[in-house]
Every structure is written in structure tokens, then in C-alpha cells.
Amino acid sequence: MNQSQEEYFLCWSAGPETMDALWAEGWRHFGPIFFRYRRWRHAGRSLTVTPLRLEPARFGPSRSQRRVLARNRDLRVEVLPTALDAETFEMFEAHRRRFRADVPDSLHDFLSHAPSEVPCRNEAVRVYSGGRLVAAHFLDVGQTATSSVYSMFDPSESRRSLGVYTILLAVERSRRLGCRHYYPGYATRESSPYDYKKNLSGLEEYDWRGRWHPLAS
């Protein structure tokens, strides 16, 4: 991934209010590395990065998202402090084989070696079919906001749309926590692999000048 106009810093511990403030200014992190960038080079194109957020209390799923929820009613969901066990690493290896470009090397590209607390509180939304882990979504928790760090699923269950399903679970978890905002991560103004995030209702985008606006259609 080639990025331009990139800013970054290293931080091993950030309090909940600090995380809220960083997300509100377009920052994200993988492990202790915090970053933000306005351009993303992908498939030979230079794309405009748009940080996104929504208000969980006002969110309503679309018709297609309600179908995803109904399709997965048979699954069991657990929310726990994030811990990376053998089952999680095994699913990551299957998940990473889906990619033809920008293939991640390790789950630690995204999560620290103490992921439940470094650099901040993080929860794993874990999804099971019977006793088998089929998806996991890693969610940072601040004072009044949450932010998704990484999501993955078992490719053999692709018919379930588990990427969309776990985002909907993250929105609901954020609502239950009483959070004002949920940050699903970056998308791009142009078409890109992150377009699925732009299908959430009530989205706002960051203008890189300190303001948030309703997402332009």
C-alpha cells in the first residue's frame, strides 16, 4: 500500500478520552502505530481517503442489511476482551488467502501483542457456527466512541456476508455501550474495495480541516 500525505506517531497507551479526540481528527492505529493519510494508491489509481463515522443511537439497517442479520440468526456471538489464540490465527491464515494484493503478513500487523489494552481497550466480537469460529471483529472502545480496527471471516462462509454482519454487530455493541459515535474506518471517495462501508445509513465524513459532514452521495 503506497500512501501520500501520511502522518504517524508511536503510542503504547492512550486513555479513552484521548482515543475519542484522535478518532475525531481522522486518526487510526494498528497496534501502537497511529496514522492518518489523505491519499491511497491502489491498483494504479490515487484515491481520496474519507474517514467515516455514524451515531449508533440513530442507525437503522437497510433492507439488504436486515437480510444479512436474518441470514445469520443461527450464529452465536460473544464479546470478550481481545485475546489472540490458535483458532484466531488459523482463521486469519484462511482469511488472508482471499487477497491478491496488499496481503497482510500477520494479525500483528493490526493488533499489538497485548491487544486488549495496548494502546487502548479493545474487544473482540467473535462469531461461531456451532463450536467453530467463523468471524471476528476487533473493536476499540473509548469514552464516548468506538472504532473498528480489523475484521476477518472464514472464506468458506462467504455466502453469509460476514464482513457486513460483523460491522452491524459492532454498531449494535457501540449502541449498547452508550457511545455517541462509531468509526468503521476509512473508505475512499472513488470506488474501492471499501465501498461496503459507505452503505451504512447516517454516515458522516471527515473533511481533513477539522469538520465532519454528511457523507456526499
Q: pLDDT, tens digit, for every residue of 105-141?
A: 999 999 999 999 999 999 999 999 999 999 999 999 9
| 177 alpha-carbon distance from chain centroid | 17
pLDDT in tens, 190-199: 999 899 999 9
CATH number of 149's domain: 3.40.630.30
Residue 4: predicted pLDDT: 52
How far apart CA 64 and CA 70 sit, in angstroms, is 10
The domain of 110 spans 2-214
Q: At what angle do helices 63-71 and 162-176 cross, to 10 degrees?
A: 100
CB-based contacts of 64: which residues, under 8 Å, 6+ apart?
A: 199
Looking at the 3D structure of the chain, how many domains does it have?
1
Count the residues in the chain: 217
Give the residue from 137, 124, 131, 123 showing the smallest Cα distance to 75.
131
State pTM to two decimals. 0.94
Burial class (CB in 10 A: 0-12, 13-18, 19+), 77: middle
Residue 65: predicted pLDDT: 98
Residue stretches of the chain with pLDDT short of 50: 1-3
3-state helix, strand, coil in the chain (%, to 5): 30, 35, 35
